[in-house]
Structure 1
Amino acid sequence: MSLAYRYELESAEREVGPELMVYPNPSNDGKFSYTVETTALEDMHLMVVDVVGKQVYAATVKQINGQYKGSFDLSKYSDGLYIVRLQYGNQTYTRKIVIRR
């Protein structure tokens, strides 16, 4: 087992917090939906940045607990890779998304 593989396995086991799903990925029109499943009452801050770190979308949802569904529209932005950042409590979670027309 390589050192890199061990690190990934250990990191995955330690991850706690909300489950974040972003779909469809890749998107052929720049429109995405997301689902967050949480176990504690907290504010959620969702941000999407492009590959150079420029913020292209941001939203805050107050006091969510359980399952929350939302969507965002990046159709006016170029094809490419974007990073979704979810801040929940004192933790930050990321997912990569792609627009491919």
Structure 2
Amino acid sequence: MNLTSSTDYEWQIRSACSTDSSSVSSWSSTQTFTTASPCVPPTNPDELNITNTAADLVWDAVTGAWGYRVMYLENGAPWNTKIIDTVNTNINSISSLNPGTTYKWKVRVLCSANGSNNSSWTSWQYFTTNNTNRITAENINTLVDLNVYPNPTDKFINISFISTELNNYQISLIDPYGKMIFEDHKKEFIGEYVSLIDLSKYSPGIYIFKIKTKDQIIHKKVVLQR
């Protein structure tokens, strides 16, 4: 039957007691059902907190989703080495990865527990784990102990770092649509910086935290989820 998705239907049935329909029962009471809504793939897949051997795979939550199926493997590895996880939130923390290795992954939405209504897969996403000798923001002499937490968050994020030398800092947070929602300037700053940002009025998604100095720009991704 060619039914329309997300549509209410009514139906009845009756018995035919003869082949020529001269003897039939009355119609049953009216029954109703609703066809399923299309299951759409998630948007904004991304990676957070990449280390030598682990990473957080994230995407925007889909309203009405029962769960998500995530597939990942080393780029170029045999297909039978793929790993498939099923999760109920829009983050999948994976571990036991190889340092300095490129991985690819994709995700689909499960709109029903029995697997009868699933979205298509997203396109492949790629990331590379850190090498053991990679320099990170925490290793930069003029800015140490950079922390942005909790991440993911559902309301607030805390920002802290220590400036070991006098420097000018531009600290900002960009929403998923490219709009700056927080900005702070520190001139000739030295010492400990601490700030609390309230994200309770903003929509879930992936935000970009940025620190800019005269010598460098540091980015960190922040996931806001409900």
TM-score (norm 2): 0.38
Query: How far off its partner does 1:88 sit?
Result: 2.2
Q: 1:40 to 1:54 in 2, by over 3 A?
A: same
Report the counterpart of residue 153 of structure 2 in structure 1: 27
User: What letter matches 1:5 in structure 2?
Assistant: G
Task: From the two aligned structures, give the one with the greater strand fraction.
Answer: 1
Aligned residues: 98
In terms of mean alpha carbon deviation, does 71-80 or 9-18 score higher?
Answer: 9-18
Matched, 1:49 2:174: yes
Say which structure, 1 or 2, has more relative contact order (CA 8 Å, 6+ apart).
1
Query: How far off its partner does 1:41 sit?
Result: 0.5
**8 Å Cα contact 1:34-1:71 kept in structure 2:** yes
Percent of pairs identical after alignment?
Answer: 28
Q: Distance in 1 between matches of 2:148 and 2:136?
A: 21
In terms of mean alpha carbon deviation, does 16-25 or 89-98 score higher?
Answer: 16-25
Query: How far off its partner does 1:60 sit?
Result: 1.0
SS of residue paired to 1:66: strand
**8 Å Cα contact 2:209-2:222 kept in structure 1:** yes
User: What letter matches 1:47 in structure 2?
Assistant: S
Unaligned runs of 5+ in 1: none
Q: 1:37 to 1:77 in 2, by over 3 A?
A: same
Query: How far off its partner does 1:94 sit?
Result: 0.8
Unaligned runs of 5+ in 2: 1-98, 102-127
